[in-house]
Amino acid sequence: MALLDIKNLNLAMRSYEGETQILHGIDLKIERGEIWGMVGETGSGKSLTGLSVSRLIASPPGRYLAGSIEFQGRDVLKATDKEMRMLRGRHIGMIFQDPTTNLNPAFRIGTQLVDVALHAGHADPSVLGLGAGASRGDFKKAAKRVAVEMLEKVGIPKAADRIDDYPHQFSGGMRQRVLIAMAMIGKPDLLIADEPTTALDVSVQAQILRLIHDLVAERNIGVLLITHNLGIVAQICSHVAVMFRGRILEAGKVNDVLKRPSHSYTQALLNSVPTVHTKRGELMGLSGAMRETSA
């Protein structure tokens, strides 16, 4: 049984223009220990695929036409709201692009982390290292301990002192670390990271990528990393799926796909990345024809 098994996912969204199909038969299987990169341009449907896994797309406007998303054998699309809340806090962790808007500025970092820890703890006390009969006091104490541990784990120095700080006292990179700590606190089996480093400096990006890489190595979790940056995929992903207009054009091991792309779109994407080694004039955008016809 795969950790995550998306089968023939078809999603339509309703808007002023009427209902349009956004995802056309997405198939994707993620096992533990794999880091799947999902690359594509704006509007290719990569983020909506990620949100679908935690069922964070409101309905309406969203509507699933067909398909299933099996997480550890259970279909997420058929789960009750209560089961979903349990999954989100405990088994599926999510990190989003903008670390500033995803922390509540009015509460201390610690308060927010402890909240998440308590939520996860109520779903499964073993997350906090507690038995089923633990008292409320035990829960609170354990939640705080776990919060500090997680902050240390994601590389925040003097975590025990900083837990009483407010989000604005952290830099962008540090905030993203806090969010990763928050996502990891329930010891999830799957981490969905939607452009986790896009808002960060390259030097900080390298640190965050290392952190994700180490977490996978240590906890044997599965990761779905949504990004538009092929460089990031090449760096830390084990597998990659290339999305275009709501379809996966090709998917497989990073080495196979990026070195011997079977689809011309993948090749075109690779050609459009300026690296330190690209000479002027070598860079090629996607030809207009490609954009018009392959819809």
Partner 1 sequence: MSLDIQNVSKIFPGPRQGFFGRGEGFTALDDVSLSIRKGASFGLVGESGSGKTTLTRCILRLESLSAGNILFDGSDIHKLTPLQMRRLRSRLQIVFQDPYASLDPRMTVHDIVAEPLVIHGDVVNMTASRRTERVMELLLQVGLRSEHLFRYPHEFSGGQRQRIGIARALAVNPEFLILDEPTSALDVSVQADVLNLLHRLQVELGLTYFFISHDLGVIRYICDDVAVIYRGRVVEQGPVAAIFDNPQSDYTRMLLDAMPDPDPDRSPFRKIAAV
Residues between 18 and 77 that touch partner 1 (CB under 8 A): 41-42
**Residue 8 contacts partner 1 per CB under 8 A:** no
Taking the complex as a whole, the smallest distance from the CB of residue 261 to partner 1 amounts, in Å, to 11
Choose the stretch contacting partner 1; rule: CB under 8 A; options: 61-69, 133-141, 218-226, 262-270. Answer: 262-270
CA–CA separation, 293 and 295 (whole Å): 6
Taking the complex as a whole, the smallest distance from the CB of residue 196 to partner 1 amounts, in Å, to 13
CA–CA separation, 174 and 154 (whole Å): 9
One residue of 172, 187, 219, 252 binding partner 1 per CB under 8 A: 172
226 forms beta bridges with 38, 194
Residues between 201 and 240 that touch partner 1 (CB under 8 A): 201-203, 205-206, 209-210, 213, 228-236
With respect to partner 1, which residue has the nearer C-beta, 59 or 271?
271
With respect to partner 1, which residue has the nearer C-beta, 160 or 206?
206
**What's the first-to-final CA gap in the chain, in angstroms?**
34
Nearest to 165 by CA among 103, 227, 122, 87: 103
> What torsion do the CA atoms of 263, 269, 270, 275 make, to the nearest 10 degrees?
180
Number of Cβ within a 10 Å radius of residue 80:
8
CA–CA separation, 8 and 89 (whole Å): 26
Binding-site size for partner 1 (CB under 8 A) equals 40
**Max CA pair span of the chain:** 68
Choose the stretch contacting partner 1; rule: CB under 8 A; options: 55-63, 90-98, 159-167, 278-286. Answer: 278-286
**Chain positions contacting partner 1, by CB under 8 A:** 41-42, 172, 201-203, 205-206, 209-210, 213, 228-236, 254-255, 258-259, 268-276, 278, 280-281, 283-286
